[in-house]
Amino acid sequence: MNSIQFNRIQLRNVKSLTSELGISVLLLLTRTRSTESLPKSILSILSSSKSTNKLLRSDLHTVTKTLLFSPFSPTMQTGYSNGYGGGHTHSRRRSHRAAAGGVYRVCSSSLSSPPTAPSTPTTTSYGNSNHVDTETAVASMWEGYDEAYFQSYANVGIHQEMIKDRVRTDTYKAAIMHHQNLISGKVVMDVGCGTGILSIFCAQAGASRVYAIEASDIAIQANEIVKENDLSDRITVIHSRVEEVEIEEKVDVIISEWMGYALLYETMLPSVLYARDKWLKPGGLILPSHAMLYMAPVTNSERYHETIDFWRNVYGIDMSALIPLAKQCAFEEPVTETISGENVLTWPFMVKYIDCYTTTARELESITARYKLSAIMSAPLHGFAFWFEVEFNGPITISSNNDMGFPFQHGTNNGSNHRKRRQKNTVVLSTAPEETPTHWQQTILYFYEPIEVRQDQIIEGSITLSQSKENHRFMNVHLEYSTGGRSFVKESVMR
């Protein structure tokens, strides 16, 4: 067997990613670019996965992407999604969002080969020529993570899904035209340009020069799109991590669609902040300019009934023995699905307010907020939902959390209060449950057991969101909640 090809293997079944076996597989793949050097025992485990489907190409990008990312899409974890249109259908959500990664190069029609393979880890002199230095091994592992993350965006289907989201795309276009006076005749940087659609919008708004930066191989097609639309004289597509780009001139505008599930998943915003600190002129424009992460307790008896109660009577057979496993499979990790405003039990709570003009990457590594909410109706509490909004303001606006009175630290109803203070002409992209559904949907952290809550009953506690040490693209969730005299803790990882 020279190679083996995978299709979205569920490593939940193999349970080897964080084990020595999983790391060994990753390091071997990183070093060999194929699976021919893997022990037959590992190949047997991988190839026997029940989730292995049709064969795909076996290059390193596909194999590593499959091993590291595809199983960790929240939808893939549970096998359940309403689909962002609201119907009860499975929806292949985008697994990951691209910002940067790869070799620095300005695209041309001659660029058709994939990025070079990561270098082979160096060895130490501990008397074992095959011993891999620990720091080098870790660096190689992280390189494999990011390589897979970026290359997952080379699939055109992910970009089609994002562009077909009319709320997303129309809002970005409206924001660009709203700020046309700040874009026309100016230099723009598009961080994580994908197919280049936002760069083209900026050129149509009169930008004199657009640097479209994209790490994945979709940059090659983006360059062709730019050429076919006769914009090569104003848009330069750069195939690179933004952190590795060298551009001599400063820019007037930075635009990026960096938001992930629950706003911060995938950790793309730090790349935008890097670009801001290195290239943005004083008084420059950042789109979007501000972001708000919200949360609220939710009720969803239909979801619980379909997923859990289903096993109590299956064609007249009592399969209740499967319920503990069903709860673990369905609710162990956050899921992405569409809910409505009717599912929300309290006014929304603002977990974090981000000013993209002033915030730092360090501030985003770990976020903690305390909340105290009051139920607006009697219903079973099934979990907490997370969603976000972003605003497209100029640089002269609310500039710090102090100006917000730290609403995300204490109190209730702060999400509603911020909306009331928002200027009427502000362009807003919202993923709230009561708004038109988007491909982001909402992120739900379900409990294993529902809790009965009465109207006006207090629900309080704290929420901590932090970058995972396992992979900085993942997000750790630590939720503490108390209600009706009982206290609980829910911990999970959004992979």
Q: Which residues are catalytic?
A: 257, 266
Give the other-Cβ count within 10 Å of 233's Cβ.
10
> Helix 60-68 and helix 20-32: axis angle, to 10°?
160
What is the residue-wise DSSP string for 396-459? SS--STTTTTSTTTS-S-HHHHHHHHS-TT--EEE--TTSPP-TT-EEEEEEEEEEEE-TT-EE
Q: Which two tokens stand for residue 4?
A: 């083996």
> CA of 355: how far to CAs of 228, 275, 317, 359, 440, in Å?
36, 15, 55, 6, 21
Torsion sign (Cα): 266, 270, 271, 272: positive
Q: Which two tokens stand for residue 398?
A: 């609310």
Q: Compute the radius of gyration of the chain from its Cα atoms.
A: 23
* 450: preceding bond cis by omega (within 30 degrees): no
- Classify 135 as helix, strand or coil: helix
Q: What are phi and psi of 256, to 5 degrees?
A: -160, 145
> Helix 40-47 and helix 20-32: axis angle, to 10°?
100
- Classify 18 as helix, strand or coil: coil
- Classify 123 as helix, strand or coil: strand
* Angstrom distance (rounded) from CA 209 to CA 390: 25
Opening angle at CA 322, ends 316 and 323, nearest 5:
100
Q: What are phi and psi of 400, to 5 degrees?
A: -160, 165
What is the residue-wise DSSP string for 320-379? GGGHHHHHHHHHSS-EEE---GGGB-S--EEEEEEETTT--TGGGSEEEEEEEEE-SS-E
- Which three-class secondary structure string do you get for 71-86? HHCHHHHHCCCCCCCC
